Each structure stands twice: as structure tokens, then as C-alpha cells.
Amino acid sequence: MKEKLKYERPIITKINAGVTDKFGMRPKMPAIKEIDGVPVDTIIEKYGSPTFVISEKTIRDTLKEAKRAFTTRYPKVKFAWSYKTNYLNAVCKIFHDEGSWAEVVSGFEYDKALANGVPGNQIIFNGPDKSKEDLIKAAENGSYIHIDHFDELYDIISISETTTKRPKVAIRVNMDTGIYPQWDRFGFNYENGEAWNALNRIMMSDKLELTGLHTHIGTYMMTPEPYAVAASKLAELAVRLERKFNHKIKYIDMGGGFASKNTLKGAYLPGKDTFPGFDKYAEAVSNALINSELDPNEMPVLFLETGRALIDDAGYITGSVLANKRLANGRRSMIIDTGVNMLFTSFWYEHEIYPAKDVSSHAEDTTIYGPLCMNIDVIRSAVKFPLLQKGDKYVIKRTGAYNMTQWMQFITLRPKIILIDTQGNTHVIRENETNESLTSHEKVPEHLNKPKK
Amino acid sequence: MIKEKKIQTLKNAVLNSYSQIFFSENKIFALLLIIVSFLDFWAGIYGLISVLTANITAYILGYDKTLIKKGAYGFNALLTGLGTGIIFQPSIELTVIVIFGALLTFFVTVALQGILAKYALPYLSIPFLLGIWAIILATKDFTALGLSERNIYTYNELYALGGKTLINIYEKFENINGFESLKIYFLSLGAVFFQNNILAGIIIASGLLYFSRIAFSLSLIGFYAAYLFYGLTGADFSALAYTFIGFNYILTSVAAGAYFVIPSERSYLWTLLLLPVTVIITASLEHVFSVWQISIYSLPFNIAVLLFIYALKLRVRKNSKLTDTFVRQETPEKSLYLFHTASEEFKNKNYFPIGLPVKGDWSISQAHDGKYTHKDKWRHAWDFVITDEKKLQYKNKGDYLEDYYCFDKPVFAPAAGIIAEVADGIPDNNIGDVNVEQNWGNSIVIKHGEYLYSQISHLKEGSIKVRKGDFVKKGDLLANVGNSGYSPYPHLHFQIQATPYIGSETLDYPLHNYIIRKNGKTELVTFGKPEEGETTAPASSEKILENALHLVPGKNLSVNLKSSEKNITEEWKINKDIWNRTFITDKEDSKAWFYENDSGLYFSNFTGNKKSLLFIIFKALYNTNKSFYKGTEITSSIRPDLFFGKLILTLQDFAAPFCIFLKAEFKMTYTEKDDDFIPEFVKTESTISKTIFGKVKEKEHFTVIFHKSGETEIKFDNNILSIKPLKKTILNQTAK
């Protein structure tokens, strides 16, 4: 029996010049019917709506591509997985399995990395918030502590009196790389001499072992040139350090900040066209280091803490449409079951959202709202979107970075996260929350528990 | 002190002058030969006078002390002295003539050394020939000399020397019946020292056997080959025993079969072929020389051996089955064992290290004798591409240059050199298209040395960063991979060649220090030729290993052995000899010879006490590469004579040219490194398996831990041997 065609409510749209593409066809939104071979319908049926999906294959492929870009240009390259970008244990373990170290920014993340089986001497400890206890633990484990400010440096010098091992430290350096706004809140400034001040103090204290130099020049850098500037400045610092103290640093850590293919709000071109690609970043950094005065026979290891660019593409959200309605001005709006509480990045990205089934070429300017009872819960403020009906499925692409760490439980409960492995099997890697999982942490004072008379 | 040294030099010079006649520097053999020379007392005296004259002259005139010590200037004079002393009655006049004869021989030695060195040929005993002929021809006018009658009245002589007992012994030997040929063999051997008795021959033969089993067996082979040839041609061999001729065949056999070439089946075969030639030379020259009534002595040996060595040296294709001995050891056996085991060292010395022109993992899409374009004159080339996990060279559909992983990737200088040629400005082809006109595309040729160039082709238009005449270091950025020339898809063409032109004929030359990734395992190659389908990357060396294995002459090592019962501390010195061969030596003067370069530390030889601590480091670090790749294994063989008992080794020595059944196999596995890039220590396990006919008889195991501090720990059988470079203490002393 032939399936009955779906009814689509007629719409009236103004004809704009250039709506047809070069083949005379009207633009039609492609559908994402499956992820890594697993049908979206199956995912939702099995794991509920919405569900976060992570593709193991995409993670591994992307990391390999990034590695290939760097290792074919620079002799020693190491990636350290930026925990804050996505610290789901399953995700971290995929990265560690591919040889990545861990880059953590808090005591909590540090313990998580240890629990994931990362040896202490393969953890890079960043961030402005490290307690004395954290520092002692990191020092004893032989982790690499990246000092952010003088107060932390004093702390480390004081703990180094008592630790059994010499703490391995590096300083975070911030500098003018020609970008605006210049990031100067992390680490010590290069231009005003603060970095030297910190290095002098470290070198004068024979209790600390200066292992490297670190910088994190910014985030979502869409052009590679600032990395070249930063790399040559760090290389110069390393060379001058060697001249002054006869001390060779082991590594230069270029931090993260590579853009992903997501489109920033207000960007003129789509992100997938503006993303320069790993090769361009690699070329900028490697050439700057190779062309520096660093001894070519003993080049420092190049560390990269790339997070977003490695994981964003691997994350999807699948869910269903809750309702359609017309706004007061006649504009169409659609309510879906993913809100800003789950898709935190929709505050700065124009996330790509696709239907999970074939649709007609008729699309209407639509505002997509989340399910929250909050005015700010907007996933896309304006997108040409085909008409989906209640219950129809959708897929939001490139949600792998930051969402699963920055999301919050608010109004609704957070859904399951599943992983599609390289064989196409699905695994739940984080269970959905239940009332119990929230209330288990709550405590009600005795007097409120008395039954009402 | 200096005087002592002089005496030591002279002592060595004298002893070696005797043993050098049999290409040996063995002291015991030398003593036996001295005894033999004194079987005729006066001949012995005149021989010794000659040796002293030649060596003292060489010393005073300031010739190379090492050569003097080796007896190189003495042995010809010795022969002249012996030869003169045996013919004439002892007298003051004869003494004078012998001294001047020694001087003459010495100067001829020096002159011939200078002349023949240009052809890398030895002077053998030609100086002796010229010396003794000169004396004999001259003495026809020296009426003051009387001919010796000693060799005629043998019994009188023997009685004077050793009384009745010696005569009894002598008679016993002389009267052995049968073994007629063996008697002639001993007589011929004795004739080397102008002795005409079997006793001398027996002493020399046992000395030769003690010195080298191979030389001994060759002496018999040489003798009997000639003996049979005489029989075949109907000549009378027994006459030779009385004319000092038969030894020619023995010496020829030893020299051609074992000394100047590595003993092997082929060298034995060639010896057998060479001997009839020597017989012909002998027979013909005897007629020529009879005109002047002088003996031809060792002339046939000199002619045959020189011809043979010279012919071998002029070969274009060297083959491993018949190789010149280029690093000569004390005995032919040792040369042979070393030849089979120290090939790594020889490789390192023979090839200029040219690495891969890329960084990171690359695959070989076409290797030597490839199926597309690496053919004929251009067959020794490699094409490099990058592939992904699915073995694809591109992402998306591969329709655009940018889809190819290798496109636009940087290319680095594979070794230091001068840019000899650059071609740029040829556009990159679209995928599938080729440029038949300018088929090499944008290319760079680098000169690494005389007749050694490397060429890199199909580069991206406009990406070349060097100009003709620039000097580049290994690892300098040259250009980026492109798709210019005869290249349907982006790849990098790399070849080694002998001429500086783009598109020169290729050379079959290995690449240096790279790894091959195969089924998750990493294989380390010091010198090799990557093959099609292999994934390779340049090997990067590990700083800790670099530090620990960097042994520079002048550096001293502090060594400590700890076990439950012992605690020994020693100091070792690193030194080198005049040929720049480096070695570690301990207080007892045991030596572990090694060769070190950028890629590793290779021990080549060990001399001295095998119970010393030094022998442990030799065994544990026999062949160590400076790169660390977990799980890689290095295997190589060590000279078996260092590991087996005298008895079985004697058997092996006899069989060695044909079959080496005793083996000592070294294996090192890189097991642990606490951190990929910033390690505190690196751990390896080495084993030495001693096998007899392939059966493992014994295994020695060493765990070696290289620490960041520069300390190396070798653990074995509950012992810990730690080796530390000694810090210089000068600063502390001045502070006091």
C-alpha cells in the first residue's frame, strides 16, 4: 500500500530574487536520517527524546587528521585532551586511547583524569584555581603545573619545601598577538616583563623544575597568524632563557583556541567555510618554531590543548518537535524539546539544525524555541526551516564541545548521552537524570517534614 | 719511564719481526720462531742482529712507532740476516756485512712501502729478496767470507747446541718412516727460517696451529695442492725441500686464503686455483735465476700473492663471498668472526646518512623497481604519499589537490648539503592530469658529497624556499609537496643519484634511521630501503639515550657493582687509538671497542679480561639505537669466540670458513619509557643467547635502565652495575 503523503499546511512567502540555485532548483534542506549508520528514529525510540549522540569514529578521525597536520611538520607533537570541553569519561578515554594526555583546570578535573587511568606525569594542570592540596597532589604525581599568577607561584615555592619530588612547572604567558581583544587575564604578560619576573623567580628557586612555556592566546581563533606570533614569542623566550640560565625547556604548549566549523552569531559566512583547517594552524605554529633560534637538534615538544576543534563535530542532539505556532507578527515559530539549558552553546552559535526525514523545498523563516518556560530559551532566532510537525524528529549538528560540561539541570531533566562506536553499536555513556538523582542530594530540615495536622 | 717505553717498543718490534713472517703478532709464536732460528746458532745470532739493526734504525730515524711495534720494518731484515748467516761462516766481516745487509733491506722496505701504498698493496718479502740477492751476488767478490759448512755436518751442530739428547730427538724425527710428504711439509716450513730439519718444521707447525687454526689448515692445503700438482706434471717435489722453495706454497696459501681476504669457501677455492699458478711461476723463474746462480727464495710467493690481491682490489662489483680484509684482527679467525658480526659498524662507516625528506608518517606508493615509473636507469627511487586508516590518500572524493593528505605538506632536507639545482615555475596538474614535457616537475637537487646527490621532485609551484648554492642542514624546510610534472596525483618523488642534474640516473643507496610501522608494531631501520606499501617515518632519537650513549674520548666513567656480597667501584676511561677507533678501557687494560654516531652506539670488539665489569657493558649494550620505540627489537650477532670454551672453539676455527655453528646472538628490546616525550627513564632488556648448531645452550639476561641524570643501570643475576659519567673535579679543587 502506498504511504499517504503527509499534509503540509500551505504558506504564503514573498518571492525573493536568487532563491533558486544554479540548477534552477529551489534550495531544499537536506535531512540527517542517520548518524554513523544508526537511524535517528531508532535512537529516539530506544533512548528517548532528546538524546545526545557522540560519534566515536568522528572523534578518532578528527584527532588523526589534526595529528597528521602537525606531525608531518614538526618532529615532536603531543595533544592533551582539554577536559573542560567534554569530560565524559567515555570521551576522555577515547582521546587517551589515541595517545592524548589530559589537560585539566581544577582539582575535580584532575581527580577525574587520574580516575580515567591517566598517569600523573601525563596531566597538564592549568587554570587560575588550584588549591594548595591540589598543588601538592600534582607535584607528588609528577604532573605539569602551569602557573597562572604570582600567588600560585608563592604557593608552589612554599609547598616545594616539603614535597618529595621537585614540582614540574611551566608558566602561562599572555601576549599581544595582534588579536582583539587581547587575552591578558591568564598567566604573566610577555610585553611588560611580568613573564620574565616569574621565570627569574622560578629559576632562582632551585626547588622547582621549569619544564615548559604555555600560552593560550584566545578562543575560536579563525585565523592562524596569531599562533605564529605566539609561537615565535615563546620560542624567543625559550632561547633567551637558555642563554641566561643555561636551562633548556622541554616543551612549548600552544594551548587551544582553534575554531570549529560552527557558525558564530553575527558571522557573515558559515563556519564550515571560515574554519581554516588544522593544516593552516599547524603550518603557522611549526614554521614559527622551526624558523626560530631554537636548536634544531633539540626542539622542545609541542603541546596542543585543542578541545573544541576536536570534539565539536562528533556531538549531535536528536529530538522531536513539541509544537508549532504563529507569533503575534505572523512569524512562524517552532518549539523543540532541546533548550538552552542543554544546548548552552546556542548562546553564541547559530547551530545547524536539520530535519531527520526528507522534506519538501518549502521553507519559512522560523524562530526555534526550546521547551523552557523562559523568554531567553531560543535555539535559533531566525532560520529558513521546512515545516515539521509535532513529533517529527530533528538533528542538531556540532554540539560536542562544552555542552556536556556547561549544561545545567533547569526545569527539565537532562537526557541520556549515547556513544556510537566505530562498529556502529550504541552505548549509553551517561544515563538520563531522574527526580531521584536530583532529590538524593537534597536535604529537608526536620521541622518541614512534619505532617500537617 | 721513557726508557722503559723505548725498551717495550723494541721488545715488541723484535718479537713481532719474527711472527710477522707468518702474518702474526702472537708473542708465543714469536718465541717459538726465535727458538727455531737458533737451531742454527750463528744464523739465529745474525738474524737477531739484523732485526735489531733494522728496528733501531727505524726508531732513530723516527718512523711510525705503531708500525715499528708491529715488526713491519724488521721481518724482511730478519730474513736477510738469517739467509746470510746460514750461508757463511761467522766472522767479524760477516757481522759487518749482515748489519749493512739489514740496513739495505730496511731502506728497500721503506721505499717499497711508499711505492706500493699508493696501490694499497703490501710489500711482503720483496725487500728481503732484493737484500739477499744483493748480498749473495756481492759476496762473490768478498773473499774474506768463508762458506758455512754447518748445514752439511748437522750432527756436529746439534751436538754443540744440545748434546746427545738433542741428537736423539732429532734422529727420532728424521727417522719417522712413511709420511714422506709430511716430512717434506715440515722441511718446507722449516725452510722459511732457512732450517733444513724436520724439528724446525714441527715447531713452526705447532706455533702456527697455536696461532691460527685457519692458517694452519691452509698451510697444509697449500702444500698438498702444490704437491699434487707436481705429481700431476711429473716434477720432483722432494728436491724442493732442500732449496728453500716449498714454503712458497705454504705462505701463498695462508696469505691468499686467510690473511688478505676474509677466510671463506671461496677464498679456499681460490687458493687451490692459485697454487698451480705459483708452481708454474716457481718452475719458470728457477731457470731464469739459475743463470746468476742465485735462489729465487720467496719470489714466487710474492708474485702470486701481489697479483691476486691487486686483481681483487680492481673488481668493480665487490661480493661478500670473497672480501678483502679491511679491518685486520690478530688472527684470520677473528677477522672472519668480526666480518660476520660487525657489519652494522661497517655499514655505518660506508654510507653517508641520508634520512627521509619528510616528517611524520608517510607511505611508500612506489619503491625501487616500481611498477609505474621507477624503471631501468631510474629504478632506485621512492614515491612518498600520506594515507589514512583506510589506506586512502585523500579525503572527500579526491577530485581536488587539497583533498590529498600529502598535498602542500612540507619537505625537509634529508641530510646536510648544498643546493645543486632548482626547478620551479611548473604548474601543479589537476588530479589525473600529467605534464609529459617537464616530467620531473618542480625539483630540488642537493649535493651531499662527491658523486652523492639527492633529488626531490613534483613540488608545489612557488613553494621552493631555497636557491641554487644555498647550504642546507638536515631538517631544513625546502618546499611543499605538489603535483607538478609527470604526476597524476600529489606525491613526493625522492631519489639518490651520482650527478647534479634533474633526472639523473639513480643510485642504489640506502636511507638512514627510519621506522616502519607494521600491524601496530614499530620496526627500526638504521640503513635500509623502504619498500612499497610500507608506512615509514624518520626515527627520532631519545634525549636520555643520546646522553647515556654519547661516549667521547676523554670522558671518564665511574662504575659501581652492587650485589648482596660485593660492592666494587671502578673507573673507566674512554679513549681512541691512532686510527680513531674508540674504546672504553678499565684499569686492567681490557678494551671494549665501539663506534658511536647520531643513530646509536655499536660495540665492535672486546679484548682483554672477560670476567671484567667492562665485558658486561659490552654484552648488555652491544648494539643500541638511540631511538626509543616501545617494543622494537634490535638483533645482531657477536663474535662467537668471546663466548665459548677453547676446545669447541678450536673445532669451530677449523670449520669457520665453511660453517659457523657457534653463535652468540644479541637481542635488545625497548620495553619501557615512563613518558613519551619528557621521560625520567628508559628501559631495555637485552639477552645474549649462545647457540651450538642453532640450539640454545645458555642465555644471559640484562635489564638496562637509562636515567635522565645520565646514570645507566644494568641489572643481572641480583647484581646492579651502575655507570655514571664522572664529573670533573677541577672546580672543587680550586675552591679549596
Residue B235 cell numbers, joined:
716434477
Residue A227, Cβ neighbours under 10 Å: how many?
26
Please give the pLDDT value at position A29: 84
Residues of chain A neighbouring B473 (CB-CB closer than 8 A)? 296
Q: Which residue has the higher pLDDT, B599 or A253?
A: A253
The contacts of residue A235 (CB under 8 Å, 6+ apart) are A252, A288, A289, A292, A293, A294
Cβ separation A74–B473 shorter than 8 A: no
Cβ separation A99–B475 shorter than 8 A: no
Number of CB pairs, chain A paired with chain B, less than 8 A apart: 62
CA of A402, closest CA in chain B: separation in Å?
27
Q: Give the bridge partners for B443, in sequence order.
A: B423
Can you give the residue ranges of every domain in chain B?
1-148, 179-326, 362-509, 543-730
Give yes or no for B676 touching A (CB within 8 A): yes
Q: Is the pLDDT of residue B344 over 80?
A: no
Give yes or no for B494 touching A (CB within 8 A): no
Domains B1-148 and B179-326 alike in fold: yes
For the segment(s) B362-509, the CATH number from 1.10.3210.10, 2.70.70.10, 3.40.50.300, 3.20.20.150 is 2.70.70.10
C-alpha torsion B148→B153→B159→B165, nearest 10: 130
Cβ neighbourhood burial of B567 (10 Å; 0-12, 13-18, 19+): exposed
Give yes or no for B685 touching A (CB within 8 A): no
By C-alpha distance, the chain B residue nearest A64 is B388
A253-292 pLDDT, tens digit each: 999 999 999 999 888 888 888 899 899 999 999 999 988 9
B223-236 pLDDT, tens digit each: 998 888 888 888 77
Beta strands, E only, B600-661:
600-607, 623-625, 633-638
Instruction: Name the amino acid, one letter, at B458.
Output: H
Q: Give the residue range(s) of CATH 3.20.20.10 domains in chain A.
A: 56-312
Cβ separation B410–A283 shorter than 8 A: yes
CA of A71, closest CA in chain B: separation in Å?
5
> For residues A362 and A425, is the Cβ–Cβ distance under 8 A?
no
Helices and strands per DSSP (H, E), number in chain A = 13, 20
Kindly indicate the confidence band of residue B729, based on its pLDDT and cuts at 50, 70 and 90: very low
Q: Is A121 helix (H, G, I), strand (E, B) or coil?
A: helix
Q: Give the bridge partners for B452, in sequence order.
A: B449
Instruction: Name the amino acid, one letter, at B114.
Output: G
B69-109 pLDDT, tens digit each: 999 999 999 999 998 988 888 889 899 999 999 999 999 99
Give yes or no for B450 touching A (CB within 8 A): no
The contacts of residue B270 (CB under 8 Å, 6+ apart) are B256, B257, B261, B308, B322
Q: Please give the CATH superfamily to which domain B1-148 belongs.
A: Ammonium transporter AmtB like domains (1.10.3430.10)
Give yes or no for B709 touching A (CB within 8 A): no
Please give the pLDDT value at position B733: 40
CA of A280, closest CA in chain B: separation in Å?
10
Residues in chain A: 453
Residues of chain A neighbouring B676 (CB-CB closer than 8 A)? 78, 99
CA atoms of A150 and A197, how far apart (whole Å): 10
Cβ separation A68–B405 shorter than 8 A: yes
Nearest to A256 by CA among A92, A398, A80, A431: A80
Give yes or no for B424 touching A (CB within 8 A): no
For the segment(s) A34-54+314-434, the CATH number from 3.10.20.600, 3.40.630.10, 3.50.50.60, 2.40.37.10 is 2.40.37.10
Mean pLDDT over each residue of chain B, to the nearest integer: 87
CA atoms of A21 and A28, how far apart (whole Å): 10
B695-717 pLDDT, tens digit each: 898 999 999 999 988 899 999 98
Q: Which residue has the higher pLDDT, B307 or A273?
A: B307
B370-425 pLDDT, tens digit each: 888 888 889 999 999 999 888 899 988 889 998 999 999 999 999 999 999 999 99
Residue A356 cell numbers, joined:
531527520
Cβ separation A75–B675 shorter than 8 A: no
Give yes or no for B663 touching A (CB within 8 A): no
CA of B461, closest CA in chain A: separation in Å?
17
Interface with A, mutate which of B387, B597, B678, B681 (most A CBs under 10 A): B678
DSSP B677: S
Q: Which residue has the higher pLDDT, B556 or A92?
A: A92
Residue A396 cell numbers, joined:
542538531
Residues of chain B neighbouring A122 (CB-CB closer than 8 A)? 675
Helix-strand-coil split of chain A, %, nearest 5: 30, 25, 45
Q: Is the pLDDT of residue B174 over 70?
A: no
Please give the pLDDT value at position B735: 39
> For residues B532 and B367, is the Cβ–Cβ distance under 8 A?
yes
Cβ neighbourhood burial of A288 (10 Å; 0-12, 13-18, 19+): buried
Which of 405-444 (A) contact B at CB < 8 A?
none
* CATH no. for A56-312: 3.20.20.10
Cβ neighbourhood burial of B569 (10 Å; 0-12, 13-18, 19+): exposed
Cβ separation A286–B388 shorter than 8 A: no
Residue A405 cell numbers, joined:
560540561
Nearest by CB to A75, from B359, B361, B676: name it: B359
Q: What is the 3-state secondary structure (H, E, C) of B525-594?
A: EEEECCCCCCEEEECCECHHHHHHCCCCCCCEEEEEEECCCCEEEEEEEEEECCCCCEEEECCCCCEEEE
Question: CA dist B621 to B408, B545, B608, Å?
Answer: 42, 11, 17
Kindly indicate the confidence band of residue B335, based on its pLDDT and cuts at 50, 70 and 90: confident
Cβ separation A72–B674 shorter than 8 A: no
Q: Please provide the DSSP assignment of A22-45 as one string.
A: TTSPPP-PPP--EETTEEHHHHHH
A20-34 pLDDT, tens digit each: 666 666 667 889 999
Residues of chain A neighbouring B476 (CB-CB closer than 8 A)? 296
Please give the pLDDT value at position B730: 42
Q: Is the pTM of this model over 0.90?
A: no
The reply to whether omega before B488 is within 30° of 0 (cis) is no
Give yes or no for A166 touching B (CB within 8 A): no
Residues in chain B: 736
Residues in chain A with pLDDT values less than 50: none
Question: CA dist B422 to B374, B378, B457, B471, B491, Å?
Answer: 21, 19, 10, 13, 18
Please give the pLDDT value at position A22: 64
By C-alpha distance, the chain A residue nearest B678 is A250
B631-665 pLDDT, tens digit each: 888 888 888 888 888 889 999 999 988 888 998 99
Cβ separation B677–A301 shorter than 8 A: yes
Cβ separation A287–B477 shorter than 8 A: yes
Q: How many Cα atoms are found within 13 Å in the side-chain-facing hemisphere of A340?
A: 17
CA atoms of B427 and A298, how far apart (whole Å): 36
The contacts of residue B106 (CB under 8 Å, 6+ apart) are B53, B54, B57, B58, B73, B76, B77, B127
CA of A142, closest CA in chain B: separation in Å?
10
CA angle B362, B363, B369 (to 5 degrees): 130
Q: Is the pLDDT of residue B364 over 60?
A: yes
DSSP B474: T
Nearest by CB to B359, from A72, A122, A142: name it: A72
Strands of B492-497's sheet in order across: B471-472, B417-423, B442-449, B452-459, B492-497, B381-385, B362-366, B535-538, B511-518, B521-528
Give yes or no for A250 touching B (CB within 8 A): yes
> For residues A169 and A152, is the Cβ–Cβ distance under 8 A?
no
Please give the pLDDT value at position B731: 41
CA atoms of B577 and B605, how far apart (whole Å): 14
Nearest by CB to A68, from B360, B473, B680: name it: B360
Q: Is the pLDDT of residue B736 over 50?
A: no
CA atoms of B402 and A73, how far apart (whole Å): 17
CA atoms of B89 and B65, how far apart (whole Å): 34
Nearest to A254 by CA among A170, A179, A196: A170
Cβ neighbourhood burial of B37 (10 Å; 0-12, 13-18, 19+): buried
Give yes or no for A99 touching B (CB within 8 A): yes
Phi, psi of B451 (to 5 degrees): 60, 30
Please give the pLDDT value at position A19: 57
Cβ separation B675–A122 shorter than 8 A: yes
By C-alpha distance, the chain B residue nearest A66 is B405
- ipTM > 0.90, yes or no: no
Please give the pLDDT value at position A89: 96
Domain B179-326: which CATH class?
A: mainly alpha
Instruction: Name the amino acid, one letter, at A122.
Output: Q
> For residues B204 and B193, is the Cβ–Cβ distance under 8 A?
yes
CA atoms of A192 and A174, how far apart (whole Å): 10
Q: Is the pLDDT of residue B343 over 90?
A: no
